[in-house]
């Protein structure tokens, strides 16, 4: 998939759950690259397959972890217990 189609797919999935432009744009922006966008889409797909509900907190934390990982930064302490 191209960068644009990955971002479009993530946008479509996020908008299906939240009608909030700022939230959707910030999640996509935090991803920073195609690999992270794919990982976020994969997370949402696996949650759907398991019948789990994806929350905005899930997506915000995942976006933060993916961005920090991409930047080579240590993960936030609130992730330690997951």
Q: What is the pLDDT of residues 16-75, one digit of tens each?
A: 989 999 999 998 888 888 999 999 999 999 999 999 999 999 998 898 888 888 888 776
Kindly state the tokens that stand for 3: 């960068």
pLDDT at residue 31, rounded to an integer: 84
14 burial (CB, 10 Å; 0-12 / 13-18 / 19+) is buried
Q: 3-state DSSP: the chain helix, strand, coil percent, rounded to 5?
A: 75, 0, 25
Residue 12 has pLDDT above 60, yes or no: yes
Residue 75 contacts residue 69 (beta carbons within 8 Å): yes
User: CA 62 to CA 14: how far, in whole Å?
Assistant: 13
């Amino acid at each position: 998939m191209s960068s644009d189609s990955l971002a479009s797919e993530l946008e479509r999935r996020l908008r299906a759950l939240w009608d909030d432009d700022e939230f959707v744009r910030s999640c996509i922006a935090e991803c920073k690259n195609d690999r992270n966008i794919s990982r976020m889409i994969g997370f949402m797909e696996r949650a759907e397959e398991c019948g789990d509900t994806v929350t905005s907190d899930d997506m915000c934390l995942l976006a933060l972890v993916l961005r920090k990982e991409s930047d080579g930064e240590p993960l936030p302490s609130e992730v330690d217990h997951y």
